[in-house]
Structure 1
């Protein structure tokens, strides 16, 4: 369970800024069956793989793009929900502490505008959907591009930028859990060379757990200076304040998955302390993003961000593994009370990222080159005080009584500083209509300082190679090899450091884009990560490193999207993820994932139209077997349905979204230590939007 791993393993994690790959791609012909003005660009181009607006068809790696329009159609309220129809991405149940998306069985790393946002398990606010233009998922190891990163891939969120055409929108919404929200987004020119944008969000809401708020205030402003066609400079600032204590619900097996009639615990039951559980978070960031073309053959890209973040979080939560009767009898003798733990943290984060690269274009015979060279640097500092009490009193899970538990006493103080410098070199070679080749190499130097402990230094060189065959103007088979490198910050529960993770992957696939509105991908991959983390079978709050993880699988993704007509996204993934020495699927990792979502617009006349849509998501069964077969818990597969209906009249839109439409009772994951994560109930949201 995440609640066990996160507190034991990380107090922050190490990462680096992004390699700015300014690679130009050749134009390519396509068969056009739809007017270009009707196309909603979805999955046809991406910046995460090359840091330019590169056609996905010519990228030798799996990459998926989710636009803001798609997020709105699906009723996505966070990044986790935005990616639930993406092949190979598994995100289990909702958790207000963060957007935890697993890609090909490995947790993704979050980036904003190509610069790393989350250094491991950090207690910062979750990103706000309304501030984003799109989300790009780069699947597989990407350290040559992004430095220290996950073996599964990265999730790069693209911020909304100012536009030189005036426009915007304002919306109000109301939904389940008394969720009230207002959003405004306005942009336009201030002069011929200067444009501005402002995005604001205010939310007042309860959550799926009793006594738990989900409030938010966001203000994001941006300025774009464009003195000429060769120069573009964006200055973006954001302030975000959240008040949302942890809202995941961990319940005993016998009160959830294995409950007898009349013994199932209410979904909204709260096992913390109303006066103690808290999640107060502030986030402020300022970014400067610049590009300049000195000539057709020489260009510069620079991205820099400074971040301040402060969090105060505390929670009492169930600790079924402490029950004397074992996982099937979690209660204290003669009662229906279950032991609890207390965890609290007050923490301050300061982060500086900068990434600067230059690109040179030249030709050698029939081949065109774009050589990229650059350097990035990141500085991450966290100062924290923590409190942890194991077996901090029990609570009756059927009739909870509050107010008897003590407030946290902070007894662990830590200052940690992470520094990373990366040098990168890449050549993208274009052989015209025949093929394109990407070759890259990168060297990272990392230092980690825990005040009072010796400095830890790590150096690593990672490589990447990818070949795309231009079989036709619309069909592109590819093969690639890529590596990842991820140092792990913090110490385990016994004060020992972890070894860095190292991943490598071979991927083959084919992409087909018969029209601008259509993109299909099939990928096969073979991925291995050394020094893998796994839950300590003798202590669920600790993680140990032994051996490796091997992941193999196949993915299919299809996207079709035409504005004011019809859209469809379908995804399927099958993957085996196994720890070395084990001949079974890794705990809490499904083998099968499948989903489909579509929308259709119907013209009703007199400027009135209706959009209807819906989707189905399937997640395969999961196992929990930390004791080598002594006690195994199987979490059943589940299928959930989502739906939307919207009325568009001139500049007005009234939209309703339902997530888990049929209010299916399900469990995203259950543990052999005696608990289950509770699935989300049906949620309905109505939104009225005016566009101008």
Structure 2
């Protein structure tokens, strides 16, 4: 098996999967094996291993020495290692590591074999084992771009190929490689995900669309984040530098997570304390006066490795391609892990972030962006608002804890809890709903547009707690991983909106600023959603067959208040959702599967009679193949699906300004994604998505119409090459990517129907690793990313003829990273 990216070219990574104690005696190789000659074992190696659990220390020993360690997991369970540091021979280092334990070692060729002195058996059972490309945790770091495990689709540490639903994983390595500045940008190369529109250029919210459904709910470490609803604000934004990975679970996820859109969820996995020291500082610059700084520090606090910490921070100050717009951020995320014993883990964490921006939504008319006019195209730099009026201030914080305790060899108890709070204000003149005669030229030539002003203040709070009992056991020849869970979710949203409609107009081609806005006509809401869910899941494995069964019963309450008018509605719902998936893992790495999943989503608001809306419901049928090649480090997924969502809100034609639930939407599609570390130097990722989402039923004339901002075909590819250390270009790396989006509709109403042109955008990267270069400057790496290399002028999406958004023009970011 070829060595994974980043290892010594002579090394091959062998990770032996631990089996249940009732199966093979389970001798595990917890690190790497070298195809080297025997005398290399006597060479000194720079080693730095803090005191920690012995199993983790042996993994780190194997990584730092490139040697294979053979041992029985039962014999090291509950033991802790001594700290080892310095330039040492591997045998000297392993002896220090094992001080104070009952474990003896003996060298067998290129292997180091361990056994308990009290076992009375000097032999090791080197039975055939299952081999994977590299060790990986579902919640941990991934070396490179190819992830093999996830917890988003099962709430357990499970191989991706054994989860019978599509899951796309964007690793921190890929985020850095492509220079992503937001979660929306991190998901640009993910099939079935579109993020064009407000979130693409303004970047103060992340509102991705999955399989045609928007917005895709955002989760942080498995718990829901507050969401205010559209561009009114009230949403936390998580900086991608604080994340270990971003995962997209496609399709309904209610069995594990409760109320959700049927298109899927985005689960962001935070960086957490680690036994391996982390020391990184980043300084950056770039287009539009970008000034950027970040740091990531972590490792053991004490010599015994009982306490671990992580501290991550970001500061950012930059202007924008849009005139007068700017971004300013300060963020700090500390976390602490306590390991009182080998069976218990307690982690507490927090995050504080403050944003002071001058935003510009830039919702522009189709005339002048998508469609040509006698006046030409509207400038991409147009500031539609007022420089002295526009502002966006957000203060957000998160605090929580995660506890896991192994009761015995079967049962593990877990509890995750978090409180998240966001308080923000968005003030801006926005696009209007009509053109007027231009007061300067006297012409009504679609150059002068009305505006309306908004002053939106929102305070959203969410508390979530998830209690899990996990059991691993065997019945006959069937392995089980069972989850029994109960979770609680409480979300409160308070909103105050002030408006000026219609406000002063603006010339879209020759703007003159200084108009005054008088914000009035207040509107308030005070909405609360509570949900309690009871769920169960069983992941069954029999030889190469696997079956996932899950069910959940939810009790949900939606309480809507309108303080100014005295309006009040309350809706209580109970809902059962189910999930089932079956797959078979062939010896060649192919794993076909079929699955079915359901979702539900309570609705806020009420109809004309004051009655609360019923939840929308969704169901998905999916078939697919997951392929994990044996001869190369990669992962490929192909899936086809159909999703139906019922009880959708549509316009009440008899009562304008109100809605009724007459809509059904159907999404059908095919997705293909592949990520491969072809060699140590070459990485490739590619994705294609074909999606059609239409109104199956609607009372307002949209039946059979394709939804707006839902491109039928997207495709992307990225290739990255790092030059070998034996060449004259040692240390250099280059990357090139392309994103294609086919023409889509700008409105799903017949009277406004128009097409948005297809477009292709190219991205690029160049890096220079000074440690691998002839300069040999340890730990320093330079990197520059270019988005939209050719400065393509395109429109990624429109909500109507008066609400279109330009895509970002050519933008460069440059960073210097120092690791020590």
Q: TM-score, normalised by structure 2?
A: 0.76
Which one of the candidate residues 152, 155, 171 is aligned to 1:48?
A: 152
* 471-480 or 187-196, larger mean C-alpha shift: 471-480
Distance 2:479 2:735 in 1: 45
Distance 1:507 1:348 in 2: 38
Deviation at 1:396, TM superposition (A): 1.7
Distance 1:675 1:291 in 2: 48
Distance 1:480 1:238 in 2: 37
Distance 1:541 1:69, change over 3 A: farther
Larger Rg: 2
Deviation at 1:29, TM superposition (A): 6.6
Q: CA RMSD in A?
A: 2.9
Distance 1:176 1:653 in 2: 20
Give the structure 2 partner of residue 684 of structure 1. 812
Deviation at 1:544, TM superposition (A): 5.8
Find the residue that maps to 1:664 and give its secondary structure: coil
Give the structure 2 partner of residue 478 of structure 1. 593
Find the residue that maps to 2:531 and give its secondary structure: strand
**1:445 counterpart = 2:555:** yes
Report if aligned partners of 1:97, 1:125 keep a CA contact under 8 Å in 2. Answer: no
**1:232 counterpart = 2:232:** no
What do the CA deviations read for 1:39-83 (whole angstroms, capped 9, x no partner)?
Answer: 636231111012232110111110011110101111110011101
What do the CA deviations read for 1:337-396 (whole angstroms, capped 9, x no partner)?
Answer: 211112221122222110001022333322222222111001112222111333222112
Give the structure 1 partner of residue 780 of structure 2. 652
Deviation at 1:495, TM superposition (A): 7.3
Which one of the candidate residues 219, 223, 226 is aligned to 1:118?
A: 226
**1:385 counterpart = 2:492:** no
Equivalent positions of 1:604-683 (< 5 A) are: 604=725, 608-628=730-750, 630-650=751-771, 651-683=779-811
Deviation at 1:664, TM superposition (A): 0.1
Give the structure 2 partner of residue 571 of structure 1. 687
Deviation at 1:296, TM superposition (A): 1.2
Distance 1:30 1:88, change over 3 A: farther
Give the structure 2 partner of residue 361 of structure 1. 472
Q: How many residues align?
A: 663
Deviation at 1:30, TM superposition (A): 6.4
User: 5+ residue gaps in structure 2?
Assistant: 1-18, 27-127, 698-702, 772-778
**1:181 counterpart = 2:292:** yes
Distance 1:30 1:645 in 2: 38
Deviation at 1:676, TM superposition (A): 2.1
Give the structure 2 partner of residue 505 of structure 1. 620
Distance 2:781 2:133 in 1: 29
Give the structure 1 partner of residue 87 of structure 2. none
What do the CA deviations read for 1:417-436 (whole angstroms, capped 9, x no partner)?
Answer: 221111111122111x2311
Distance 2:309 2:516 in 1: 50
Report if aligned partners of 2:752, 2:801 keep a CA contact under 8 Å in 1. Answer: no
**1:594 counterpart = 2:709:** no
* 43-52 or 285-294, larger mean C-alpha shift: 43-52
Give the structure 1 partner of residue 57 of structure 2. none
Find the residue that maps to 1:255 and give its secondary structure: coil
Give the structure 1 partner of residue 640 of structure 2. 524
Give the structure 1 partner of residue 673 of structure 2. 557
* 501-510 or 345-354, larger mean C-alpha shift: 345-354
Distance 2:135 2:404 in 1: 31
What do the CA deviations read for 1:152-209 (whole angstroms, capped 9, x no partner)?
Answer: 0000000000112222210111111211111111111112200111111111111222
Distance 1:633 1:665, change over 3 A: same
Give the structure 2 partner of residue 458 of structure 1. 573
Report if aligned partners of 2:781, 2:816 keep a CA contact under 8 Å in 1. Answer: yes
Report if aligned partners of 1:96, 1:244 keep a CA contact under 8 Å in 2. Answer: no
Distance 1:527 1:562 in 2: 34
Distance 1:222 1:242, change over 3 A: same
Find the residue that maps to 1:70 and give its secondary structure: helix
Deviation at 1:32, TM superposition (A): 7.2
Deviation at 1:245, TM superposition (A): 4.0
**1:106 counterpart = 2:213:** yes
Deviation at 1:592, TM superposition (A): 0.4
Report if aligned partners of 2:636, 2:673 keep a CA contact under 8 Å in 1. Answer: yes
Give the structure 2 partner of residue 434 of structure 1. 544
What do the CA deviations read for 1:76-123 (whole angstroms, capped 9, x no partner)?
Answer: 100111011111111113143411111111121100000001335252
Equivalent positions of 1:119-268 (< 5 A) are: 119=227, 121=229, 122-191=233-302, 192-260=305-373, 262-268=375-381
Give the structure 1 partner of residue 99 of structure 2. none
Deviation at 1:232, TM superposition (A): 1.2
Distance 2:654 2:362 in 1: 23
Distance 2:785 2:658 in 1: 40
Report if aligned partners of 2:676, 2:684 keep a CA contact under 8 Å in 1. Answer: yes
Give the structure 2 partner of residue 5 of structure 1. none
Distance 1:455 1:109 in 2: 23
Give the structure 2 partner of residue 307 of structure 1. 420
* 616-625 or 30-39, larger mean C-alpha shift: 30-39
Deviation at 1:246, TM superposition (A): 3.5
Give the structure 2 partner of residue 59 of structure 1. 163
Distance 1:47 1:188, change over 3 A: same
Report if aligned partners of 2:708, 2:746 keep a CA contact under 8 Å in 1. Answer: yes
Deviation at 1:262, TM superposition (A): 4.9
Distance 1:178 1:302, change over 3 A: same
Report if aligned partners of 2:396, 2:423 keep a CA contact under 8 Å in 1. Answer: yes
* 388-397 or 64-73, larger mean C-alpha shift: 388-397
Report if aligned partners of 2:375, 2:447 keep a CA contact under 8 Å in 1. Answer: no
Give the structure 1 partner of residue 56 of structure 2. none
Distance 2:748 2:654 in 1: 9
Find the residue that maps to 1:145 and give its secondary structure: helix
What do the CA deviations read for 1:609-643 (whole angstroms, capped 9, x no partner)?
Answer: 11111111111111134442x44211011110000
Distance 1:155 1:631 in 2: 32
Report if aligned partners of 1:174, 1:180 keep a CA contact under 8 Å in 2. Answer: yes
* 34-43 or 367-376, larger mean C-alpha shift: 34-43
Deviation at 1:332, TM superposition (A): 7.9
Report if aligned partners of 1:96, 1:126 keep a CA contact under 8 Å in 2. Answer: no
Deviation at 1:408, TM superposition (A): 2.2
Q: TM-score, normalised by structure 1?
A: 0.90
* 231-240 or 36-45, larger mean C-alpha shift: 36-45
Distance 2:745 2:381 in 1: 25
Give the structure 2 partner of residue 82 of structure 1. 186
* 217-226 or 245-254, larger mean C-alpha shift: 245-254
Report if aligned partners of 1:616, 1:641 keep a CA contact under 8 Å in 2. Answer: yes
Report if aligned partners of 2:183, 2:238 keep a CA contact under 8 Å in 1. Answer: yes
Deviation at 1:35, TM superposition (A): 11
Distance 1:690 1:407, change over 3 A: farther
Distance 1:683 1:402, change over 3 A: same
What do the CA deviations read for 1:117-169 (whole angstroms, capped 9, x no partner)?
Answer: 13352523421011111011101111001111110000000000011222221
Distance 2:716 2:818 in 1: 31
Distance 1:39 1:337, change over 3 A: closer
Distance 2:813 2:652 in 1: 41
